[in-house]
Amino acid sequence: MRVVAVLCAMIALLSLGQSGDLHASELRRTAIVKAVQSARAAVVNIHGHKTIDDQQQSREVNGMGTGVILDPRGYILTNHHVVNGVRKIRVTLVNRQTFSARIISHDVRTDLAIIKINAPEKLNVIRIGTSADIMTGEPVVAVGNAFGYEHTVTRGIISALHRTVQVSENNKYHDLIQTDASINPGNSGGPLLNIDGEMIGINVAVRAGAQGIGFAIPVDKALAVAAQLLSAERVQNTWHGVVRDSHRSTLKHRFVVGTIEKKSPADKSGFLAGDVIQTVGKTKIQRQLDFERALLGRHAGDEVEVTVVRKSEPLKLSLVLSKLPGRRQSVDSRSWRVLGLRLNPVPTQKFRTYKSRYRGGLSVASVRPDSPAARQGIRTGDVLVGMHVWETISVDNVDFVLDRDDLASFSPIKFYLLREGSTLYGHLPISVARR
């Protein structure tokens, strides 16, 4: 009997020890650990090589940065400076899979860009919070490719809000979040997370020589830009005509229609200002980015069911997308189809900062892979200033060149562009039959 009693006591002690271990393990799984675990799979590392001019000499440098997955089809948000001028962008997921990426669109003013990879399976998407209710002093976590050390995690607090930071002679960031969570070279484009694991900012800059001072773009601002960069109009040349109400669409995580463009598909479908869009097809809509993502991959003529709430009552509407009307699509679709270039006019004041002898130009927003432009080495961020003997100051100038009856006589077309302070030229072979 005494032997049995001893064995029972030993079993009880072992069970107690195992229970204690489990309890201790759970105690170690703090809010920060949970936040990192929930976001980790949606954070990617970005690598590439670029050529920079240094005192009249060109040299190769390794570029690195971070990105966050916004859409399971492989659309990734990062900083524009991370991918600008990079010849071959490589993206590595948390599971060590690596893919080539291409730039979809970018915004130099806010230093944001969308890139895309083609993965065989759906990807994890970052959980999104809001920057509208951030509190000074609340804990935050930064995740990124710090100094090339992938998925580095640092923690800190919100140190201040609405900071203005001068990062170069011609580049200044406004309305940034300041944090003492360590943000190092390579962190750019990565998420700043709150304690719930939601992204509340995009890490963008560090203060040189100052420890504990880093900065991030507020997530509400970043996602408003991302929505434009991923818009059906910009990516696919399709038109819906819905404009959000910027004052009522952020705080409550809902997409409120502000205005409807006249004679647009939305106008014809019966959308009204004040409608709260809840679903597009099977996609739940909380913000403008969700709305634009839901239309990606759809084409002119496609019909999609949209659920809205109007005066507290649910209502189903049928939205039929169309091509961009008239001059809004002419240069973009034609240059994209023929040259492989998506072009945007450069404002006069901004062009003057290039200190060029040319009078103006068109910024290259994206380059189609395997297009004439891609084969000639044209990159996003380049500024097209001339084709053959004509300047390309406006979109009409490109139309003029591509519409000429004698186009075949001077193909391949000689082109001129500005890149990092230099004027470059090359020749674009044009197949007249593709016009």
Is 81 annotated as catalytic? yes
CA–CA distances in Å: residue 258 to residues 126, 130, 277: 27, 20, 11
Among 109, 113, 164, 163, which residue's Cα sits nearest to residue 134? 163
AA identity, residue 184: N
Q: Which of 47, 81, 151, 240 is catalytic?
A: 81
340 dihedral zone (left: phi>0; alpha: psi -120 to 50; beta)? left
Q: Which of 111, 275, 332, 382 is catalytic?
A: 111
Q: Is the peptide bond before 218 cis (omega within 30 degrees of 0)?
A: no
Q: At 168, phi and psi to the nearest 5?
A: -160, 180
3 dihedral zone (left: phi>0; alpha: psi -120 to 50; beta)? alpha
What are the residues facing 418 on neighbouring strands?
383, 423
CA–CA distances in Å: residue 365 to residues 67, 183, 253, 289, 332: 19, 28, 30, 19, 10
Give CA–CA dist 191/131, Å, rounded: 12
Q: Please state, as a whole number, how many other Cβ atoms lie within 10 Å of the Cβ of residue 283.
A: 13
Q: Which of 188, 269, 363, 366 is catalytic?
A: 188
What are the residues facing 136 on neighbouring strands?
none
Alpha helices in 299-359 (DSSP H): 327-338, 348-352
Give the long-range contacts of residues 221-226, CB within 8 A, separation 24 or more.
221/110, 221/131, 221/175, 222/77, 222/110, 222/112, 223/128, 223/287, 223/288, 223/289, 224/288, 225/107, 225/110, 225/112, 226/70, 226/77, 226/112, 226/114, 226/289
Number of H helices, E strands in the chain: 11, 26
Is 188 annotated as catalytic? yes
Rounded to the nearest 5 percent, the helix, strand and coil shares of the chain are 25, 40, 35
Is 133 annotated as catalytic? no
Q: Which residues contact 104 (CB under 8 A, 6 or more apart)?
A: 75, 113, 114, 115, 116, 229, 230, 235, 366
Give CA–CA dist 167/172, Å, rounded: 6
Give CA–CA dist 177/351, Å, rounded: 29
- The residues that are catalytic are 81, 111, 188
